[in-house]
Amino acid sequence: MDWTLALRLLIAGLLGGLVGFERELRAKEAGIRTHFVVALGSALFMIISQYAFGDQAHDAARVAAQVVSGIGFIGAGVIIFQKNVVRGVTTAAGLWVAAAIGLSAGAGMYGIAAVAAVLTIACLETMHFIHLKYVEKAVRLSADCKGATDLESTLKLLKDNGITVDSYAIQDGRVSFDIRVGQKTYMEVLPGIVSGLSNPSVESAA
């Protein structure tokens, strides 16, 4: 038993798990377990490609290249197309990076593997903060409308909460608002507004 190789597996799993921990905090499709296993498996493949064939002539890079190709199947499994919105691409990219981290650790490149993990987590957290604070989401909000009074009160309620109304239309007793709302407002404020409407529906604007 070569404990140096076992250490490579351990480091790969831990670093991959750190990336997965960030994804799990955000309730994404793949969390600690998936990232841990992907990084661990990638490291194991790298170790096999380097040491399993003894003195026989072999190309150690060939197995690593197949890992890069194969991880795409797992990444595709977490990408979802729903209501004209593609979800899970960042998590799929995180799995791809976890595989690269595992390959690095499996090759004994601990420093670069650790730096890659830290940079990945820093990027995800920074962009999450920026997204919450500055990025707006286009949403179509619909509800039953009994007349001009309902329309005016709803418009005032939206604007008082800092929600931008791009347009609205009334048809068959229902009013539809095309609005732009910050991510934080979308998660914390909009549900309270929607709960006060009659027969409401919310969907991402196409």
Say if residue 53's pLDDT is above 60: yes
In this model, does residue 174 exceed pLDDT 70?
A: yes
Topology given in CATH for the domain delimited by 136-204: Alpha-Beta Plaits (3.30.70)
Quick one: pLDDT band at residue 56, thresholds 50, 70, 90? low
**Eight-class DSSP state of 138:** E
The label of the residue with tokens 């509800």 reads 143
Question: What does the pLDDT look like over 125-153, one tens digit per residue?
Answer: 998 888 777 777 788 888 888 777 778 88
Q: pLDDT value at position 118?
A: 96
The whole-angstrom separation of Cα 86 and Cα 84 is 7
From 72, 76, 73, 98, select the one nearest 87 (Cα to Cα): 76
The answer to pTM > 0.75 is no
Question: Is residue 101 within 8 Å of 45, Cβ to Cβ?
Answer: no
Specify the pLDDT at position 175: 86
What is the per-residue burial (b if ≥16 Cβ within 10 Å, else e) of 13-28?
A: bbbbbbbbebbbeeeb
For CATH 3.30.70.260, the residue range(s) in the chain are 136-204
